[in-house]
Amino acid sequence: MISIVFIGFGNVNQHLCNALHKSTNASVIQIFNKSVKSVSSEVSNIPFTTNISEIKQADVYIIGIPDDAIAAVSERLPFRDRLVVHTSGSVAMNTLSTHNRKGVFYPLQTFSKARSVAFKVIPICIEAEHASDLLLLQHLGHILSEEVLEIPSEARAKLHLAAVFVNNFVNHLYHISEALLSEHQLDFGLLHPLIAETARKIETLTPSEAQTGPAKRNDKKTIENHLHLLEGSEYSALYQLLTNSIRDQFK
Amino acid sequence: MISIVFIGFGNVNQHLCNALHKSTNASVIQIFNKSVKSVSSEVSNIPFTTNISEIKQADVYIIGIPDDAIAAVSERLPFRDRLVVHTSGSVAMNTLSTHNRKGVFYPLQTFSKARSVAFKVIPICIEAEHASDLLLLQHLGHILSEEVLEIPSEARAKLHLAAVFVNNFVNHLYHISEALLSEHQLDFGLLHPLIAETARKIETLTPSEAQTGPAKRNDKKTIENHLHLLEGSEYSALYQLLTNSIRDQFK
């Protein structure tokens, strides 16, 4: 049975807490957050504190706070030589204070308040200074997911960057499409089947195999028509850059 | 019973042919293609010709060929005053020859040889010069799909442009991620759950609501780290432009 204290209670820690609290192999013994937070009824029986000096003893402390606060908060923890991990994709393990044993527990997924998450298939990327801590994080990861991988900070930073491309940037392209359609009072829902199929395709084809469209074919007339439609639009430069990048890939 | 001749036998027409050939409300009576094509066993009993003068009489002729050939091929068809439609998202209806009655039958989806397509949820965008032809295309569309919409050429061009963003460009971002991961021998499959969730999210949230990440938060340090990781990369400019575009959206 692994005992856990959550430090910070934003999106990621809330989802982790909900999932781990249900498990019989883990025990969430406390939530610390600098301010009072309304917690969902499923986890309302977990002791909650806003006082850093009241934090209890546990096997692992999971920090889920903004990236730029991780160093300072880990430095302020009033105990020594315990396992303290953060959940960030882009922060190096060594950013954590040397007061405690360092580790990382990064679930590679996008979390929203409004949506529950199926942890089973989500890669959990772990890292630790000590072999015994790595083992503990492996056990903890496997409580949630079938996919637990040891990934060092440098590779994790690249993974996080890649995740920004397929999540943040892809979602922004959805936003642009929605804006383009709204000019003709067309419903964004029209694109849902295409969006779903685009995502499903790369589960069986490589992105190169799945690529289609005017840029790949270097269909100058269609590209010209599109740029004409985008005249004066803030998205014209983006269209041009993405089109050139695809052309370069296939030339 | 609607009788159909396919003109050209690329990806789109092959998928349409497979789907319509199964229906009891449509009859595919011929496939014309300028060169001999190996056809799948399901449709091998449909008469096939490479001779334009042998094209049979039908209720509708569906042209599925490269955009820039549509005008010329429709001009060369050796009959008059029949319903001839093309399947292109970006070509105006009036590109078709005036020799016949014009129309458009554009299924809003990405088609690959290797993947079958569930037409039921795919929007079919139709257009016709004459009310009676529009009615026929409506019937034909509903044989395949629950979503058949009359969309004029100008709006369809915008829709096609939006489709390029959510399909071609999104797929290219998948390719970039794959390239970034390969630098650390990380498997692109790690991103599959994130990609799937990113696509699913916008079925219940707007893209604005679903947006997360360093650009939205204007997290300068993470953005700087990412640009550092991309130093010398061809994708650096794209990262910058997409990041700025998200920042502008949320500022």
Give the per-residue pLDDT at A173. 98
- Identify the band that residue A7 occupies on the pLDDT scale cut at 50, 70 and 90: very high
The mean pLDDT of B158-168, rounded to a whole number, is 97
The mean pLDDT of A195-208, rounded to a whole number, is 96
Give the per-residue pLDDT at A117. 84
Angle at B171 between CA B161 and CA B192, to 5 degrees: 140
The mean pLDDT of B56-84, rounded to a whole number, is 97
- Identify the band that residue B41 occupies on the pLDDT scale cut at 50, 70 and 90: confident
The mean pLDDT of A62-74, rounded to a whole number, is 96
Number of CB pairs, chain A paired with chain B, less than 8 A apart: 305
The mean pLDDT of A240-246, rounded to a whole number, is 98
Which positions in chain B touch A195 (Cβ < 8 Å)? 166-167, 170, 199, 202
Give the per-residue pLDDT at B220. 93
Which of B155, B171, B190 comes nearest A198 by C-beta?
A: B171
CA-closest candidate to residue B120, choices B139, B138, B144, B137:
B144
Q: What is the pLDDT of residues A103-146, one digit of tens each?
A: 999 999 988 777 888 899 999 999 999 999 999 999 999 999 99
Chain A segment 207-226 residues within 8 A of B by beta carbon are 207-208, 210-217, 219, 221-222, 225-226
- Identify the band that residue B82 occupies on the pLDDT scale cut at 50, 70 and 90: very high
Q: Is the pLDDT of residue B78 over 90?
A: yes
Please tell me the distance from the alpha carbon of residue B124 to that of residue B142, in angstroms, as a whole number. 9
- Identify the band that residue A72 occupies on the pLDDT scale cut at 50, 70 and 90: very high
Return mean pLDDT, chain A. 95
In chain B, DSSP assigns E strands to 2-7, 26-32, 48-49, 60-63, 83-86, 101-107, 124-128, 148-150
Q: Please, are residues B63 and B7 in contact by the beta-carbon 8 Å criterion?
A: yes
CA-closest candidate to residue A56, choices A22, A79, A33, A86:
A79
Which positions in chain B touch A153 (Cβ < 8 Å)? none
User: Among A43-57, A82-96, A174-188, B108-122, where is mean pLDDT lowest?
Assistant: B108-122
Give the per-residue pLDDT at A37. 79
Give the per-residue pLDDT at B243. 98
Q: State the complex-level ipTM.
A: 0.94
Pairing of strands B101-107, B124-128: antiparallel
Give the per-residue pLDDT at B29. 97
Q: What is the pLDDT of residues B164-217, one digit of tens each?
A: 999 999 999 999 999 999 999 999 999 999 999 999 999 999 999 999 999 999
Q: Which amino acid is at B44?
A: S
Rg of the Cα atoms in chain B: 22
Which positions in chain B touch A237 (Cβ < 8 Å)? 241
- Identify the band that residue A79 occupies on the pLDDT scale cut at 50, 70 and 90: very high
The mean pLDDT of A153-160, rounded to a whole number, is 96
- Identify the band that residue B232 occupies on the pLDDT scale cut at 50, 70 and 90: very high
Q: Give the other-Cβ count within 10 Å of A39's Cβ.
A: 17
Q: Which residue has the higher pLDDT, B35 or B40?
A: B35
Q: Is the pLDDT of residue B114 over 80?
A: no
> Is the Cβ of B227 closer than 8 Å to some Cβ of chain A?
no
Chain B closest-CA separation from residue A156 CA (Å)? 9
Which positions in chain B touch A183 (Cβ < 8 Å)? 158
